[in-house]
Protein backbone atom coordinates (compact mmCIF):
# COMPACT_ATOMS: atom_id res chain seq x y z
CA UNK A 1 0.00 0.00 0.00
CA UNK A 2 1.06 3.56 -0.68
CA UNK A 3 2.66 4.66 2.65
CA UNK A 4 1.17 8.18 2.38
CA UNK A 5 -2.30 6.65 1.90
CA UNK A 6 -1.85 4.38 4.91
CA UNK A 7 -0.92 7.39 7.06
CA UNK A 8 -3.83 9.42 5.65
CA UNK A 9 -6.33 6.66 6.47
CA UNK A 10 -4.92 6.26 9.98
CA UNK A 11 -4.99 10.03 10.60
CA UNK A 12 -8.66 10.16 9.57
CA UNK A 13 -9.69 6.99 11.47
CA UNK A 14 -10.77 5.28 8.26
CA UNK A 15 -11.05 1.50 8.61
CA UNK A 16 -10.34 -0.86 5.74
CA UNK A 17 -9.23 -4.35 4.76
CA UNK A 18 -6.30 -4.89 2.41
CA UNK A 19 -5.97 -7.82 0.01
CA UNK A 20 -2.68 -8.38 -1.79
CA UNK A 21 -2.72 -10.04 -5.22
CA UNK A 22 -0.72 -10.21 -8.47
CA UNK A 23 -0.58 -6.99 -10.48
CA UNK A 24 -3.67 -6.24 -12.56
CA UNK A 25 -3.96 -3.56 -15.21
CA UNK A 26 -7.50 -3.94 -16.57
CA UNK A 27 -11.00 -4.60 -15.27
CA UNK A 28 -10.95 -7.95 -17.07
CA UNK A 29 -7.75 -9.02 -15.27
CA UNK A 30 -9.12 -7.83 -11.94
CA UNK A 31 -12.51 -9.51 -12.28
CA UNK A 32 -11.42 -13.03 -11.26
CA UNK A 33 -9.32 -11.75 -8.37
CA UNK A 34 -11.83 -9.28 -7.00
CA UNK A 35 -14.74 -11.73 -7.03
CA UNK A 36 -13.07 -13.24 -3.95
CA UNK A 37 -13.39 -10.00 -1.98
CA UNK A 38 -16.48 -9.08 0.06
CA UNK A 39 -17.09 -5.87 -1.85
CA UNK A 40 -18.45 -4.27 -4.98
CA UNK A 41 -15.86 -4.33 -7.77
CA UNK A 42 -15.17 -0.74 -8.83
CA UNK A 43 -12.99 1.12 -11.30
CA UNK A 44 -11.79 4.68 -11.74
CA UNK A 45 -11.35 6.74 -14.88
CA UNK A 46 -9.19 9.86 -14.94
CA UNK A 47 -10.62 12.32 -17.45
CA UNK A 48 -9.92 15.81 -18.72
CA UNK A 49 -12.32 18.23 -20.39
CA UNK A 50 -11.72 20.76 -23.16
CA UNK A 51 -11.16 23.51 -20.56
CA UNK A 52 -8.35 21.61 -18.82
CA UNK A 53 -10.37 20.45 -15.78
CA UNK A 54 -9.67 16.98 -14.40
CA UNK A 55 -12.27 14.49 -13.20
CA UNK A 56 -11.84 11.19 -11.40
CA UNK A 57 -14.87 8.98 -11.95
CA UNK A 58 -15.39 6.10 -9.49
CA UNK A 59 -17.93 3.60 -10.77
CA UNK A 60 -18.96 -0.05 -10.85
CA UNK A 61 -16.38 -2.02 -12.79
CA UNK A 62 -18.90 -3.61 -15.13
CA UNK A 63 -20.52 -0.32 -16.18
CA UNK A 64 -19.68 1.56 -19.33
CA UNK A 65 -19.31 5.29 -18.97
CA UNK A 66 -21.76 7.22 -21.14
CA UNK A 67 -19.39 10.05 -22.03
CA UNK A 68 -22.08 11.90 -23.96
CA UNK A 69 -24.33 12.03 -20.88
CA UNK A 70 -21.40 12.97 -18.63
CA UNK A 71 -20.35 15.78 -21.00
CA UNK A 72 -23.90 17.10 -20.91
CA UNK A 73 -24.01 16.86 -17.10
CA UNK A 74 -20.67 18.69 -16.78
CA UNK A 75 -21.55 21.25 -19.49
CA UNK A 76 -18.39 20.51 -21.50
CA UNK A 77 -17.96 19.84 -25.19
CA UNK A 78 -15.09 17.35 -25.02
CA UNK A 79 -14.05 14.78 -22.46
CA UNK A 80 -11.15 12.35 -22.87
CA UNK A 81 -8.68 10.32 -20.87
CA UNK A 82 -5.94 12.46 -19.37
CA UNK A 83 -2.36 11.52 -20.22
CA UNK A 84 -0.19 9.31 -18.01
CA UNK A 85 1.96 12.39 -17.28
CA UNK A 86 -1.10 14.37 -16.15
CA UNK A 87 -2.22 11.42 -14.02
CA UNK A 88 1.17 11.31 -12.31
CA UNK A 89 1.33 15.08 -11.82
CA UNK A 90 -2.25 15.50 -10.59
CA UNK A 91 -2.86 12.32 -8.52
CA UNK A 92 0.61 10.76 -8.16
CA UNK A 93 -0.69 7.62 -9.89
CA UNK A 94 0.29 5.51 -12.88
CA UNK A 95 -2.01 3.79 -15.42
CA UNK A 96 -3.37 0.55 -13.96
CA UNK A 97 -3.47 1.90 -10.41
CA UNK A 98 -6.03 4.70 -10.82
CA UNK A 99 -8.12 4.93 -7.65
CA UNK A 100 -10.24 7.25 -5.55
CA UNK A 101 -7.42 7.02 -3.03
CA UNK A 102 -5.20 9.04 -5.36
CA UNK A 103 -7.38 12.01 -4.41
CA UNK A 104 -5.19 12.54 -1.33
CA UNK A 105 -2.70 14.05 -3.80
CA UNK A 106 -5.25 16.00 -5.84
CA UNK A 107 -4.48 19.52 -6.84
CA UNK A 108 -7.44 20.36 -9.11
CA UNK A 109 -9.41 17.16 -9.69
CA UNK A 110 -13.16 16.86 -9.20
CA UNK A 111 -14.24 13.51 -7.75
CA UNK A 112 -17.39 12.00 -9.28
CA UNK A 113 -18.73 8.90 -7.51
CA UNK A 114 -21.38 6.69 -9.07
CA UNK A 115 -24.48 6.51 -6.85
CA UNK A 116 -24.30 2.69 -6.87
CA UNK A 117 -20.75 2.79 -5.52
CA UNK A 118 -21.69 5.46 -2.96
CA UNK A 119 -24.54 3.28 -1.66
CA UNK A 120 -22.72 -0.08 -1.80
CA UNK A 121 -22.32 -1.98 1.47
CA UNK A 122 -18.59 -2.24 0.73
CA UNK A 123 -16.42 -1.36 -2.26
CA UNK A 124 -12.91 -2.23 -3.39
CA UNK A 125 -10.37 0.08 -5.04
CA UNK A 126 -6.62 -0.13 -5.55
CA UNK A 127 -4.67 1.51 -2.69
CA UNK A 128 -2.73 3.56 -5.29
CA UNK A 129 -0.89 0.42 -6.45
CA UNK A 130 -2.25 -2.39 -8.61
CA UNK A 131 -0.94 -5.28 -6.51
CA UNK A 132 -3.58 -4.91 -3.82
CA UNK A 133 -7.23 -4.05 -3.29
CA UNK A 134 -8.42 -1.94 -0.40
CA UNK A 135 -11.95 -2.83 0.71
CA UNK A 136 -13.83 -0.12 2.53
CA UNK A 137 -17.35 -0.27 3.94
CA UNK A 138 -19.98 2.37 3.26
CA UNK A 139 -19.46 4.34 6.46
CA UNK A 140 -15.71 4.56 5.90
CA UNK A 141 -16.09 5.34 2.19
CA UNK A 142 -18.19 8.36 3.14
CA UNK A 143 -15.74 9.33 5.89
CA UNK A 144 -12.89 9.15 3.36
CA UNK A 145 -14.68 11.18 0.67
CA UNK A 146 -15.80 13.80 3.17
CA UNK A 147 -12.23 14.15 4.47
CA UNK A 148 -10.94 15.17 1.03
CA UNK A 149 -10.22 18.79 0.27
CA UNK A 150 -11.74 18.79 -3.21
CA UNK A 151 -15.01 19.22 -5.03
CA UNK A 152 -16.96 15.97 -5.08
CA UNK A 153 -20.34 14.84 -6.33
CA UNK A 154 -22.39 11.66 -6.23
CA UNK A 155 -24.03 11.13 -9.62
CA UNK A 156 -25.94 8.44 -11.48
CA UNK A 157 -23.78 6.86 -14.15
CA UNK A 158 -25.36 4.71 -16.84
Q: What is the pLDDT of residues 111-135, one digit of tens each?
A: 999 999 999 999 999 999 989 999 9
152-155 vs 40-49, strand pairing mode: unpaired
Question: Could you tell me how many residues make up the chain?
Answer: 158
Q: What is the pLDDT of residue 116?
A: 95
Residues near 135 by beta carbon (within 8 Å), at least 6 away in sequence: 16, 17, 18, 19, 37, 38, 39, 122, 123, 124
Please list the rounded mean pLDDT of every run of 10 residues in the chain (158 residues): 95 95 71 72 94 96 93 96 97 94 95 97 93 94 96 91
What is the pLDDT at residue 121? 97
* Beta carbons of 44 and 98 less than 8 angstroms apart: yes
Please, how many CA atoms are within 13 Å of residue 109, restricted to the half-sphere of its CB?
Answer: 32
Residue 32, pLDDT score:
65
CATH code for the domain defined by 3-155: 3.90.960.10
**Residue 34 confidence (pLDDT):** 62
Amino acid sequence: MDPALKKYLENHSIKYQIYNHPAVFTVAEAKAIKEKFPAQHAKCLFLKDDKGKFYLVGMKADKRLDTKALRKYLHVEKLHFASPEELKQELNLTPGSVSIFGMIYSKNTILLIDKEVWEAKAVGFHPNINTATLVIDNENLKRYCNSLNCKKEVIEIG
